[in-house]
Structure 1
Amino acid sequence: MEAIVRERDRDRYLSTFFAPDGKRPHLLALYAFNAEVVKVRDVVSEPHLGMIRLQWWRDTIEGICQGAAAPQHPVAVALAGAIAEGGLPKQALLDLVTAHEFDLFHDPMPGLTELEAYLGEAWSRLIVMAAMVLDREAAPRASECAGLAGVAQGLALILGDPRHRGPFLPQGMDVKAVLGHAENRLAQAMALLPQLPRSVLPAFLPVSLTGLYLAKIDRRPEVPLQVSALRRQWHMWWTAKRWG
Protein backbone atom coordinates (compact mmCIF):
# COMPACT_ATOMS: atom_id res chain seq x y z
CA MET A 1 0.00 0.00 0.00
CA GLU A 2 2.79 2.36 0.91
CA ALA A 3 4.36 2.29 -2.55
CA ILE A 4 1.02 2.91 -4.29
CA VAL A 5 0.13 5.92 -2.18
CA ARG A 6 3.66 7.34 -2.22
CA GLU A 7 3.72 7.22 -6.02
CA ARG A 8 0.16 8.32 -6.84
CA ASP A 9 -0.96 10.48 -3.92
CA ARG A 10 2.06 12.07 -2.32
CA ASP A 11 0.15 14.55 -0.18
CA ARG A 12 -1.97 11.92 1.52
CA TYR A 13 1.06 9.67 1.82
CA LEU A 14 2.95 12.36 3.74
CA SER A 15 -0.05 12.95 6.00
CA THR A 16 -0.08 9.34 7.20
CA PHE A 17 3.20 9.85 9.06
CA PHE A 18 1.31 12.07 11.51
CA ALA A 19 -1.24 9.34 12.31
CA PRO A 20 -0.84 6.85 15.17
CA ASP A 21 1.23 3.83 14.15
CA GLY A 22 -1.71 1.45 14.49
CA LYS A 23 -3.90 3.58 12.24
CA ARG A 24 -1.39 4.29 9.49
CA PRO A 25 -1.73 0.96 7.60
CA HIS A 26 -5.51 1.41 7.41
CA LEU A 27 -5.19 4.99 6.17
CA LEU A 28 -2.76 3.80 3.51
CA ALA A 29 -5.24 1.11 2.49
CA LEU A 30 -8.06 3.64 2.14
CA TYR A 31 -5.87 6.03 0.16
CA ALA A 32 -4.56 3.20 -2.05
CA PHE A 33 -8.15 2.23 -2.85
CA ASN A 34 -8.89 5.83 -3.80
CA ALA A 35 -5.76 5.95 -5.96
CA GLU A 36 -6.83 2.78 -7.77
CA VAL A 37 -10.23 4.28 -8.53
CA VAL A 38 -8.82 7.65 -9.63
CA LYS A 39 -6.26 6.10 -11.97
CA VAL A 40 -8.92 4.28 -14.01
CA ARG A 41 -9.36 7.36 -16.21
CA ASP A 42 -5.68 7.30 -17.14
CA VAL A 43 -5.30 3.59 -17.94
CA VAL A 44 -8.29 2.89 -20.20
CA SER A 45 -8.71 3.79 -23.84
CA GLU A 46 -12.52 3.72 -23.86
CA PRO A 47 -15.08 4.83 -21.25
CA HIS A 48 -16.82 1.45 -21.22
CA LEU A 49 -13.56 -0.22 -20.18
CA GLY A 50 -13.33 2.20 -17.28
CA MET A 51 -16.91 1.41 -16.31
CA ILE A 52 -16.00 -2.29 -16.13
CA ARG A 53 -13.11 -1.54 -13.78
CA LEU A 54 -15.24 0.67 -11.56
CA GLN A 55 -17.95 -1.99 -11.45
CA TRP A 56 -15.35 -4.48 -10.23
CA TRP A 57 -14.66 -2.19 -7.30
CA ARG A 58 -18.37 -1.82 -6.58
CA ASP A 59 -18.80 -5.60 -6.58
CA THR A 60 -15.75 -5.97 -4.36
CA ILE A 61 -17.07 -3.45 -1.83
CA GLU A 62 -20.48 -5.12 -1.80
CA GLY A 63 -18.86 -8.48 -1.12
CA ILE A 64 -16.59 -7.23 1.66
CA CYS A 65 -19.43 -5.42 3.40
CA GLN A 66 -21.58 -8.56 3.21
CA GLY A 67 -18.86 -10.58 4.92
CA ALA A 68 -17.32 -12.29 1.90
CA ALA A 69 -13.58 -12.74 1.65
CA ALA A 70 -11.86 -9.99 -0.29
CA PRO A 71 -10.60 -10.94 -3.76
CA GLN A 72 -6.93 -11.79 -4.04
CA HIS A 73 -6.05 -8.21 -4.86
CA PRO A 74 -3.67 -6.54 -2.38
CA VAL A 75 -5.58 -3.26 -2.24
CA ALA A 76 -8.93 -5.03 -1.80
CA VAL A 77 -7.52 -7.16 1.02
CA ALA A 78 -6.11 -4.09 2.77
CA LEU A 79 -9.33 -2.15 2.21
CA ALA A 80 -11.27 -4.88 4.01
CA GLY A 81 -9.12 -4.20 7.07
CA ALA A 82 -9.72 -0.45 6.84
CA ILE A 83 -13.48 -0.99 6.53
CA ALA A 84 -13.43 -3.09 9.69
CA GLU A 85 -11.20 -0.65 11.58
CA GLY A 86 -13.23 2.46 10.81
CA GLY A 87 -16.68 0.97 10.35
CA LEU A 88 -16.63 2.55 6.91
CA PRO A 89 -20.13 2.70 5.40
CA LYS A 90 -20.69 0.73 2.23
CA GLN A 91 -22.67 3.54 0.61
CA ALA A 92 -19.90 6.10 1.07
CA LEU A 93 -17.42 3.79 -0.64
CA LEU A 94 -19.84 3.03 -3.46
CA ASP A 95 -20.64 6.71 -3.95
CA LEU A 96 -16.95 7.53 -4.23
CA VAL A 97 -16.54 4.95 -6.99
CA THR A 98 -19.66 6.13 -8.81
CA ALA A 99 -18.57 9.78 -8.66
CA HIS A 100 -15.46 8.93 -10.67
CA GLU A 101 -17.56 7.69 -13.57
CA PHE A 102 -17.71 11.36 -14.56
CA ASP A 103 -13.94 11.30 -15.09
CA LEU A 104 -14.32 8.83 -17.96
CA PHE A 105 -16.40 11.08 -20.17
CA HIS A 106 -16.00 14.60 -21.53
CA ASP A 107 -19.45 15.87 -20.67
CA PRO A 108 -19.42 19.45 -19.35
CA MET A 109 -20.21 20.03 -15.69
CA PRO A 110 -23.70 21.60 -15.72
CA GLY A 111 -23.17 24.02 -12.86
CA LEU A 112 -21.55 24.78 -9.53
CA THR A 113 -24.14 22.76 -7.59
CA GLU A 114 -23.31 19.64 -9.59
CA LEU A 115 -19.58 20.26 -9.24
CA GLU A 116 -19.86 20.54 -5.47
CA ALA A 117 -21.94 17.34 -5.39
CA TYR A 118 -19.22 15.55 -7.34
CA LEU A 119 -16.48 16.86 -5.06
CA GLY A 120 -18.51 15.96 -2.00
CA GLU A 121 -18.67 12.33 -3.03
CA ALA A 122 -15.20 12.05 -4.55
CA TRP A 123 -13.18 14.19 -2.10
CA SER A 124 -15.09 15.11 1.04
CA ARG A 125 -16.24 11.57 1.75
CA LEU A 126 -12.66 10.39 1.61
CA ILE A 127 -11.75 12.86 4.35
CA VAL A 128 -14.69 11.70 6.46
CA MET A 129 -13.71 8.04 6.01
CA ALA A 130 -10.10 8.84 6.93
CA ALA A 131 -11.41 10.51 10.09
CA MET A 132 -13.45 7.37 10.83
CA VAL A 133 -10.34 5.22 10.53
CA LEU A 134 -8.57 7.54 12.97
CA ASP A 135 -11.44 7.84 15.47
CA ARG A 136 -14.84 6.52 14.47
CA GLU A 137 -16.52 8.04 17.53
CA ALA A 138 -15.23 11.56 16.86
CA ALA A 139 -15.52 11.48 13.07
CA PRO A 140 -19.15 12.68 12.84
CA ARG A 141 -18.06 15.99 14.37
CA ALA A 142 -15.75 16.49 11.40
CA SER A 143 -18.32 16.00 8.65
CA GLU A 144 -19.18 19.68 8.03
CA CYS A 145 -15.54 20.72 7.92
CA ALA A 146 -14.74 17.77 5.65
CA GLY A 147 -17.50 18.78 3.27
CA LEU A 148 -16.05 22.25 2.80
CA ALA A 149 -12.44 21.10 2.84
CA GLY A 150 -13.00 18.43 0.20
CA VAL A 151 -14.56 20.94 -2.16
CA ALA A 152 -11.64 23.36 -1.76
CA GLN A 153 -9.04 20.63 -2.09
CA GLY A 154 -10.70 19.07 -5.11
CA LEU A 155 -11.06 22.41 -6.87
CA ALA A 156 -7.38 23.20 -6.32
CA LEU A 157 -6.24 19.92 -7.85
CA ILE A 158 -8.67 20.25 -10.77
CA LEU A 159 -7.56 23.82 -11.51
CA GLY A 160 -3.93 22.74 -11.22
CA ASP A 161 -4.33 20.35 -14.15
CA PRO A 162 -5.03 22.52 -17.23
CA ARG A 163 -5.05 19.48 -19.54
CA HIS A 164 -8.00 17.82 -17.79
CA ARG A 165 -9.85 20.64 -16.04
CA GLY A 166 -12.04 21.75 -18.97
CA PRO A 167 -15.04 19.43 -18.41
CA PHE A 168 -15.03 20.17 -14.67
CA LEU A 169 -15.42 23.94 -14.98
CA PRO A 170 -19.12 24.80 -14.53
CA GLN A 171 -20.76 26.45 -17.48
CA GLY A 172 -20.50 30.22 -17.12
CA MET A 173 -17.52 30.11 -14.71
CA ASP A 174 -13.92 30.70 -15.71
CA VAL A 175 -10.79 29.68 -13.83
CA LYS A 176 -10.73 32.92 -11.84
CA ALA A 177 -14.30 32.47 -10.62
CA VAL A 178 -13.74 28.85 -9.61
CA LEU A 179 -10.51 29.84 -7.87
CA GLY A 180 -12.39 32.42 -5.81
CA HIS A 181 -15.00 29.84 -4.84
CA ALA A 182 -12.27 27.44 -3.75
CA GLU A 183 -10.70 30.14 -1.59
CA ASN A 184 -14.05 30.81 0.09
CA ARG A 185 -14.66 27.13 0.80
CA LEU A 186 -11.15 26.76 2.20
CA ALA A 187 -11.65 29.73 4.53
CA GLN A 188 -14.93 28.27 5.77
CA ALA A 189 -13.29 24.91 6.42
CA MET A 190 -10.34 26.41 8.26
CA ALA A 191 -12.72 28.40 10.48
CA LEU A 192 -14.25 25.11 11.66
CA LEU A 193 -10.98 23.25 12.07
CA PRO A 194 -10.17 24.43 15.64
CA GLN A 195 -13.40 22.81 16.84
CA LEU A 196 -12.36 19.33 15.69
CA PRO A 197 -10.96 16.64 17.99
CA ARG A 198 -7.20 16.33 17.63
CA SER A 199 -7.56 12.63 16.88
CA VAL A 200 -9.03 13.29 13.41
CA LEU A 201 -6.70 16.10 12.33
CA PRO A 202 -4.33 13.88 10.27
CA ALA A 203 -7.26 13.34 7.88
CA PHE A 204 -7.21 17.08 7.16
CA LEU A 205 -3.46 17.55 6.76
CA PRO A 206 -3.51 17.17 2.95
CA VAL A 207 -6.01 20.04 2.85
CA SER A 208 -3.44 22.28 4.54
CA LEU A 209 -1.61 22.48 1.21
CA THR A 210 -4.65 23.84 -0.61
CA GLY A 211 -3.95 27.50 0.12
CA LEU A 212 -0.41 27.09 -1.20
CA TYR A 213 -1.74 25.46 -4.36
CA LEU A 214 -4.42 28.08 -4.97
CA ALA A 215 -1.91 30.92 -4.64
CA LYS A 216 0.39 29.26 -7.16
CA ILE A 217 -2.49 28.66 -9.60
CA ASP A 218 -3.62 32.27 -9.22
CA ARG A 219 -0.20 33.49 -10.31
CA ARG A 220 0.08 31.20 -13.35
CA PRO A 221 -3.25 29.50 -14.12
CA GLU A 222 -2.10 28.21 -17.51
CA VAL A 223 0.83 26.22 -16.05
CA PRO A 224 0.37 22.73 -14.52
CA LEU A 225 0.62 22.89 -10.74
CA GLN A 226 4.02 21.85 -9.43
CA VAL A 227 5.25 22.22 -5.86
CA SER A 228 8.38 20.40 -4.75
CA ALA A 229 7.98 17.39 -2.49
CA LEU A 230 10.36 18.99 0.02
CA ARG A 231 8.26 22.15 0.25
CA ARG A 232 5.06 20.13 0.67
CA GLN A 233 6.63 17.96 3.33
CA TRP A 234 7.95 20.95 5.26
CA HIS A 235 4.58 22.76 5.01
CA MET A 236 2.72 19.71 6.29
CA TRP A 237 5.17 19.23 9.17
CA TRP A 238 4.81 22.90 10.14
CA THR A 239 1.01 22.65 9.95
CA ALA A 240 0.92 19.48 12.04
CA LYS A 241 2.97 21.19 14.74
CA ARG A 242 0.72 24.25 14.64
CA TRP A 243 -2.48 22.20 14.80
CA GLY A 244 -1.15 19.83 17.43
Structure 2
Amino acid sequence: MFSLAVSANNCAKTFNIPYPTFKQRPTEIKCSRALTTGQHNEQFCIDIVRKRDYEGFLCALLFPEAVRRSALALRAFNVELAQIKDSVSQKTIGLMRMQFWKSAVENIYRDNHPAQPISAELWRAVRKHTLTRRWMLRIISEREKDLEDKAYRNLQELEDYGENTQSSLLYLLLETLGVKNVHADHAASHIGKARRRKVYLPMDICMLHGASQEDFIRGSRDQNVRDVIYDIASQAHVHLQHARSFSENVPHAAMPAFLQTVVLEDYLQRVRKADFDVFHPSLQKRNPVLPLQLYLRSWRKIYSFV
Protein backbone atom coordinates (compact mmCIF):
# COMPACT_ATOMS: atom_id res chain seq x y z
CA MET A 1 0.00 0.00 0.00
CA PHE A 2 1.28 3.41 -0.84
CA SER A 3 0.05 6.75 0.51
CA LEU A 4 0.27 9.98 -1.45
CA ALA A 5 1.61 13.06 0.27
CA VAL A 6 2.23 16.61 -0.93
CA SER A 7 5.74 17.69 -0.06
CA ALA A 8 6.20 20.65 2.24
CA ASN A 9 8.65 22.07 -0.28
CA ASN A 10 6.06 22.12 -3.07
CA CYS A 11 3.44 23.67 -0.78
CA ALA A 12 5.85 26.42 0.17
CA LYS A 13 6.52 27.24 -3.48
CA THR A 14 2.83 27.20 -4.43
CA PHE A 15 1.62 29.50 -1.66
CA ASN A 16 4.85 31.50 -1.28
CA ILE A 17 5.14 30.54 2.38
CA PRO A 18 8.64 31.28 3.64
CA TYR A 19 10.46 28.48 5.47
CA PRO A 20 11.23 29.25 9.10
CA THR A 21 14.88 28.87 10.05
CA PHE A 22 16.00 26.81 13.01
CA LYS A 23 19.32 26.62 14.75
CA GLN A 24 20.26 23.03 15.62
CA ARG A 25 21.59 22.42 19.06
CA PRO A 26 24.70 20.20 19.45
CA THR A 27 22.59 17.38 20.90
CA GLU A 28 20.20 17.55 17.94
CA ILE A 29 23.11 17.38 15.50
CA LYS A 30 24.46 14.34 17.33
CA CYS A 31 21.08 12.58 17.17
CA SER A 32 20.79 13.37 13.46
CA ARG A 33 24.18 11.83 12.78
CA ALA A 34 23.31 8.76 14.84
CA LEU A 35 20.13 8.31 12.83
CA THR A 36 22.09 8.48 9.59
CA THR A 37 24.55 5.89 10.88
CA GLY A 38 21.71 3.65 11.99
CA GLN A 39 20.08 3.84 8.58
CA HIS A 40 23.40 2.98 6.94
CA ASN A 41 23.82 -0.07 9.19
CA GLU A 42 20.29 -1.25 8.46
CA GLN A 43 20.80 -0.88 4.70
CA PHE A 44 24.11 -2.74 4.93
CA CYS A 45 22.32 -5.74 6.46
CA ILE A 46 19.53 -5.58 3.90
CA ASP A 47 22.01 -5.57 1.03
CA ILE A 48 24.13 -8.49 2.25
CA VAL A 49 21.10 -10.70 2.99
CA ARG A 50 19.45 -9.89 -0.34
CA LYS A 51 22.67 -10.75 -2.17
CA ARG A 52 23.80 -13.83 -0.22
CA ASP A 53 20.57 -15.33 1.16
CA TYR A 54 17.79 -14.30 -1.18
CA GLU A 55 15.22 -16.76 0.17
CA GLY A 56 16.02 -15.69 3.73
CA PHE A 57 15.64 -12.08 2.61
CA LEU A 58 12.15 -12.80 1.24
CA CYS A 59 11.17 -14.52 4.49
CA ALA A 60 12.48 -11.61 6.58
CA LEU A 61 10.38 -9.13 4.60
CA LEU A 62 7.27 -10.95 5.82
CA PHE A 63 8.13 -10.48 9.49
CA PRO A 64 6.03 -7.92 11.38
CA GLU A 65 7.41 -4.44 10.79
CA ALA A 66 8.31 -4.03 14.47
CA VAL A 67 10.82 -6.92 14.33
CA ARG A 68 11.82 -6.98 10.66
CA ARG A 69 14.99 -4.98 11.20
CA SER A 70 16.15 -7.37 13.93
CA ALA A 71 15.39 -10.40 11.76
CA LEU A 72 17.51 -8.95 8.96
CA ALA A 73 20.35 -8.25 11.40
CA LEU A 74 20.36 -11.89 12.52
CA ARG A 75 20.30 -13.17 8.96
CA ALA A 76 23.13 -10.80 8.04
CA PHE A 77 25.12 -12.16 10.99
CA ASN A 78 24.51 -15.72 9.79
CA VAL A 79 25.45 -14.85 6.19
CA GLU A 80 28.64 -13.11 7.29
CA LEU A 81 29.76 -16.18 9.24
CA ALA A 82 28.76 -18.61 6.48
CA GLN A 83 30.83 -16.86 3.83
CA ILE A 84 34.05 -16.72 5.86
CA LYS A 85 35.06 -20.24 4.83
CA ASP A 86 34.80 -19.49 1.12
CA SER A 87 36.28 -15.99 1.29
CA VAL A 88 39.63 -16.69 2.99
CA SER A 89 42.67 -18.34 1.48
CA GLN A 90 44.15 -19.52 4.78
CA LYS A 91 42.52 -21.20 7.75
CA THR A 92 44.39 -18.88 10.13
CA ILE A 93 42.66 -15.85 8.63
CA GLY A 94 39.31 -17.59 8.99
CA LEU A 95 40.01 -18.30 12.66
CA MET A 96 40.93 -14.66 13.23
CA ARG A 97 37.63 -13.54 11.74
CA MET A 98 35.73 -16.03 13.90
CA GLN A 99 37.54 -14.66 16.95
CA PHE A 100 36.50 -11.16 15.90
CA TRP A 101 32.86 -12.24 15.96
CA LYS A 102 33.22 -13.99 19.31
CA SER A 103 34.65 -10.79 20.77
CA ALA A 104 31.95 -8.73 19.05
CA VAL A 105 29.17 -10.82 20.61
CA GLU A 106 30.77 -10.60 24.06
CA ASN A 107 31.05 -6.82 23.70
CA ILE A 108 27.43 -6.59 22.60
CA TYR A 109 26.33 -8.29 25.81
CA ARG A 110 28.55 -5.95 27.81
CA ASP A 111 26.51 -3.19 26.16
CA ASN A 112 29.49 -1.79 24.28
CA HIS A 113 28.09 -0.19 21.15
CA PRO A 114 30.15 -1.56 18.20
CA ALA A 115 31.04 0.34 15.04
CA GLN A 116 30.84 -2.54 12.53
CA PRO A 117 27.42 -2.35 10.76
CA ILE A 118 26.21 -5.90 11.44
CA SER A 119 27.50 -5.83 15.03
CA ALA A 120 25.76 -2.51 15.60
CA GLU A 121 22.47 -3.93 14.32
CA LEU A 122 22.89 -7.01 16.52
CA TRP A 123 23.50 -4.74 19.52
CA ARG A 124 20.24 -3.00 18.75
CA ALA A 125 18.39 -6.33 18.38
CA VAL A 126 19.79 -7.72 21.63
CA ARG A 127 18.74 -4.60 23.55
CA LYS A 128 15.27 -4.68 22.03
CA HIS A 129 14.48 -8.39 22.34
CA THR A 130 16.86 -9.70 25.05
CA LEU A 131 18.25 -12.33 22.69
CA THR A 132 20.07 -15.36 24.09
CA ARG A 133 23.84 -15.10 23.77
CA ARG A 134 24.53 -18.85 23.62
CA TRP A 135 22.64 -19.24 20.32
CA MET A 136 24.91 -16.68 18.66
CA LEU A 137 28.05 -18.21 20.13
CA ARG A 138 26.91 -21.68 19.08
CA ILE A 139 26.57 -20.55 15.46
CA ILE A 140 30.08 -19.09 15.56
CA SER A 141 31.59 -22.21 17.15
CA GLU A 142 30.00 -24.51 14.59
CA ARG A 143 31.12 -22.34 11.68
CA GLU A 144 34.60 -22.29 13.19
CA LYS A 145 34.70 -26.08 13.31
CA ASP A 146 33.58 -26.15 9.69
CA LEU A 147 36.79 -24.33 8.73
CA GLU A 148 38.53 -27.69 9.20
CA ASP A 149 36.84 -28.75 5.95
CA LYS A 150 36.45 -32.32 7.17
CA ALA A 151 33.90 -34.60 5.58
CA TYR A 152 30.90 -35.59 7.66
CA ARG A 153 31.21 -39.22 8.67
CA ASN A 154 27.48 -39.83 8.74
CA LEU A 155 24.10 -38.16 8.46
CA GLN A 156 23.95 -37.56 12.22
CA GLU A 157 26.99 -35.29 12.04
CA LEU A 158 25.37 -33.39 9.18
CA GLU A 159 22.18 -32.98 11.22
CA ASP A 160 24.19 -31.76 14.22
CA TYR A 161 25.68 -29.09 11.97
CA GLY A 162 22.19 -28.01 10.90
CA GLU A 163 21.01 -27.96 14.52
CA ASN A 164 23.91 -25.81 15.69
CA THR A 165 23.69 -23.31 12.82
CA GLN A 166 20.24 -23.10 11.24
CA SER A 167 18.20 -24.15 14.27
CA SER A 168 20.12 -21.71 16.48
CA LEU A 169 19.25 -18.95 14.01
CA LEU A 170 15.58 -19.95 14.16
CA TYR A 171 15.63 -19.88 17.98
CA LEU A 172 16.91 -16.29 17.80
CA LEU A 173 14.25 -15.36 15.24
CA LEU A 174 11.58 -16.80 17.52
CA GLU A 175 12.90 -14.61 20.33
CA THR A 176 12.51 -11.50 18.17
CA LEU A 177 8.87 -12.52 17.74
CA GLY A 178 8.49 -12.93 21.50
CA VAL A 179 7.75 -16.65 21.19
CA LYS A 180 8.75 -19.03 23.97
CA ASN A 181 7.05 -22.32 23.22
CA VAL A 182 8.35 -25.88 23.40
CA HIS A 183 6.46 -26.94 20.26
CA ALA A 184 7.93 -24.02 18.34
CA ASP A 185 11.40 -25.00 19.56
CA HIS A 186 10.92 -28.59 18.42
CA ALA A 187 9.71 -27.44 15.01
CA ALA A 188 12.70 -25.09 14.73
CA SER A 189 15.06 -27.95 15.53
CA HIS A 190 13.69 -30.15 12.73
CA ILE A 191 13.57 -27.28 10.22
CA GLY A 192 17.20 -26.43 10.98
CA LYS A 193 18.26 -30.00 10.34
CA ALA A 194 16.45 -30.00 7.01
CA ARG A 195 17.49 -26.54 5.86
CA ARG A 196 20.47 -26.73 3.52
CA ARG A 197 20.35 -26.10 -0.19
CA LYS A 198 24.09 -26.62 -0.48
CA VAL A 199 24.94 -30.32 -0.72
CA TYR A 200 26.94 -31.69 2.20
CA LEU A 201 28.16 -35.25 1.86
CA PRO A 202 28.00 -37.81 4.65
CA MET A 203 30.75 -40.33 4.00
CA ASP A 204 28.68 -43.37 4.97
CA ILE A 205 25.99 -42.62 2.37
CA CYS A 206 28.59 -41.89 -0.32
CA MET A 207 30.31 -45.22 0.42
CA LEU A 208 26.98 -47.03 0.39
CA HIS A 209 26.34 -45.90 -3.19
CA GLY A 210 29.94 -45.95 -4.40
CA ALA A 211 30.11 -42.19 -4.92
CA SER A 212 33.02 -39.89 -4.07
CA GLN A 213 33.50 -36.19 -3.40
CA GLU A 214 35.27 -35.98 -6.76
CA ASP A 215 32.04 -37.09 -8.45
CA PHE A 216 30.30 -34.06 -7.00
CA ILE A 217 33.21 -31.71 -7.71
CA ARG A 218 33.12 -32.58 -11.40
CA GLY A 219 29.34 -32.39 -11.50
CA SER A 220 28.63 -36.06 -12.19
CA ARG A 221 25.03 -36.87 -13.06
CA ASP A 222 25.46 -40.63 -12.72
CA GLN A 223 22.86 -42.71 -10.92
CA ASN A 224 25.04 -43.39 -7.86
CA VAL A 225 25.38 -39.63 -7.29
CA ARG A 226 21.62 -39.24 -7.61
CA ASP A 227 21.13 -42.04 -5.08
CA VAL A 228 23.19 -40.08 -2.53
CA ILE A 229 21.03 -37.00 -3.10
CA TYR A 230 17.90 -39.12 -2.80
CA ASP A 231 18.92 -40.36 0.65
CA ILE A 232 19.81 -36.89 1.91
CA ALA A 233 16.65 -35.33 0.47
CA SER A 234 14.54 -38.10 1.99
CA GLN A 235 15.95 -37.39 5.45
CA ALA A 236 15.34 -33.66 4.97
CA HIS A 237 11.73 -34.49 4.05
CA VAL A 238 11.38 -36.52 7.26
CA HIS A 239 12.48 -33.52 9.33
CA LEU A 240 10.01 -31.29 7.51
CA GLN A 241 7.25 -33.76 8.29
CA HIS A 242 8.23 -33.70 11.97
CA ALA A 243 8.23 -29.89 11.92
CA ARG A 244 4.74 -29.86 10.42
CA SER A 245 3.47 -32.25 13.10
CA PHE A 246 3.83 -29.42 15.65
CA SER A 247 1.94 -26.87 13.53
CA GLU A 248 -1.36 -27.06 15.44
CA ASN A 249 0.40 -26.33 18.73
CA VAL A 250 2.75 -23.63 17.50
CA PRO A 251 1.56 -20.07 18.25
CA HIS A 252 0.56 -17.99 15.23
CA ALA A 253 3.15 -15.40 16.27
CA ALA A 254 5.89 -17.93 15.43
CA MET A 255 4.79 -18.46 11.83
CA PRO A 256 7.11 -15.88 10.20
CA ALA A 257 10.16 -17.71 11.55
CA PHE A 258 8.96 -20.94 9.94
CA LEU A 259 8.28 -19.61 6.45
CA GLN A 260 11.60 -21.19 5.57
CA THR A 261 9.69 -24.47 5.26
CA VAL A 262 8.08 -23.09 2.08
CA VAL A 263 11.56 -22.57 0.61
CA LEU A 264 12.64 -26.04 1.66
CA GLU A 265 9.60 -27.78 0.27
CA ASP A 266 9.92 -25.87 -2.98
CA TYR A 267 13.54 -26.95 -3.38
CA LEU A 268 12.85 -30.59 -2.50
CA GLN A 269 10.02 -30.71 -5.02
CA ARG A 270 12.28 -29.29 -7.71
CA VAL A 271 14.98 -31.85 -6.83
CA ARG A 272 12.42 -34.64 -7.20
CA LYS A 273 11.28 -33.30 -10.58
CA ALA A 274 14.93 -33.28 -11.68
CA ASP A 275 15.20 -36.95 -10.64
CA PHE A 276 17.62 -35.97 -7.82
CA ASP A 277 20.14 -34.52 -10.24
CA VAL A 278 21.40 -31.50 -8.27
CA PHE A 279 23.33 -30.30 -11.31
CA HIS A 280 20.20 -30.04 -13.46
CA PRO A 281 19.88 -26.55 -15.04
CA SER A 282 16.43 -26.04 -13.52
CA LEU A 283 17.96 -26.10 -10.02
CA GLN A 284 20.44 -23.35 -10.84
CA LYS A 285 17.60 -20.83 -11.29
CA ARG A 286 15.38 -19.13 -8.76
CA ASN A 287 11.71 -20.01 -8.65
CA PRO A 288 9.97 -16.84 -9.94
CA VAL A 289 6.74 -17.60 -8.05
CA LEU A 290 8.43 -18.24 -4.69
CA PRO A 291 7.73 -14.69 -3.41
CA LEU A 292 4.03 -15.21 -4.09
CA GLN A 293 4.06 -18.63 -2.40
CA LEU A 294 5.69 -17.11 0.68
CA TYR A 295 3.25 -14.23 0.78
CA LEU A 296 0.20 -16.51 0.53
CA ARG A 297 1.51 -18.77 3.29
CA SER A 298 2.22 -15.73 5.44
CA TRP A 299 -1.26 -14.36 4.80
CA ARG A 300 -2.81 -17.68 5.79
CA LYS A 301 -0.57 -17.77 8.90
CA ILE A 302 0.48 -21.36 8.33
CA TYR A 303 3.80 -23.02 7.63
CA SER A 304 2.64 -26.60 7.15
CA PHE A 305 1.54 -27.92 3.78
CA VAL A 306 -2.03 -29.12 3.65
TM-score, shorter chain, exceeding 0.5: yes
AA at the equivalent of 1:158: K
Tell me what 1:49 maps to.
93
Q: Indicate if the aligned counterparts of 2:167 and 2:189 stay in contact, CA closer than 8 A.
A: yes
Tell me what 1:144 maps to.
186
Tell me what 1:7 maps to.
51
Tell me, in whole angstroms, the C-alpha distance in 2 between the residues paired with 1:64 and 1:242.
36
2:179 pairs with 1:121: no
* Unaligned stretches of 5+ residues in structure 2: 1-44, 207-227
Higher relative contact order (CA 8 A, sep 6+): 1
Tell me what 1:99 maps to.
142
Distance apart, 1:104 and its partner CA: 2.3
Tell me what 2:301 maps to.
243
Q: Indicate if the aligned counterparts of 1:209 and 1:235 stay in contact, CA closer than 8 A.
A: no
Distance apart, 1:11 and its partner CA: 1.2
Tell me what 2:255 maps to.
201
Residues 223-238 of structure 1 mapped to structure 2, 5 A cutoff: 223=279, 225-228=283-286, 230-238=288-296
AA at the equivalent of 1:211: E
Residue from 147, 152, 155 that aligns with 1:112: 155
Q: 1:68 to 1:139 in 2, by over 3 A?
A: farther
Residues 59-78 of structure 1 mapped to structure 2, 5 A cutoff: 59-70=103-114, 72-78=115-121
Distance apart, 1:102 and its partner CA: 3.7
Tell me, in whole angstroms, the C-alpha distance in 2 between the residues paired with 1:64 and 1:141.
29
- Misfit runs of 4+, over 6 Å: none
Q: Indicate if the aligned counterparts of 1:120 and 1:147 stay in contact, CA closer than 8 A.
A: yes
Tell me what 2:271 maps to.
217
* Cα deviation code 1:155-178 (max 9, x no counterpart): xx123xxxxx3xx42423522211
Q: 1:126 to 1:158 in 2, by over 3 A?
A: same
2:202 pairs with 1:169: yes
- Root-mean-square deviation (CA, aligned residues, Å) is 1.8
Distance apart, 1:190 and its partner CA: 1.3
Tell me what 2:132 maps to.
89
AA at the equivalent of 1:6: R
Residue from 70, 81, 99 that aligns with 1:37: 81
Q: Indicate if the aligned counterparts of 1:132 and 1:139 stay in contact, CA closer than 8 A.
A: no
* Cα deviation code 1:97-148 (max 9, x no counterpart): 1111243233111222222111101101111110100114x35541100000
Q: 1:57 to 1:186 in 2, by over 3 A?
A: same
Aligned residue pairs, count: 233
Q: 1:140 to 1:188 in 2, by over 3 A?
A: closer
Tell me, in whole angstroms, the C-alpha distance in 2 between the residues paired with 1:211 and 1:140.
23
* Cα deviation code 1:180-229 (max 9, x no counterpart): 11111111111212321111111111221111101222324231633425
Tell me what 1:162 maps to.
none
Q: 1:169 to 1:217 in 2, by over 3 A?
A: farther
Tell me, in whole angstroms, the C-alpha distance in 2 between the residues paired with 1:170 and 1:91.
30
AA at the equivalent of 2:186: E
Q: Indicate if the aligned counterparts of 2:111 and 2:123 stay in contact, CA closer than 8 A.
A: no
AA at the equivalent of 1:106: D
* Unaligned stretches of 5+ residues in structure 1: 160-164
2:201 pairs with 1:158: no
Distance apart, 1:75 and its partner CA: 0.5
AA at the equivalent of 2:261: V
Distance apart, 1:61 and its partner CA: 0.4
Identity of aligned residues (%): 24
Give TM-score scaled by structure 1 length.
0.88
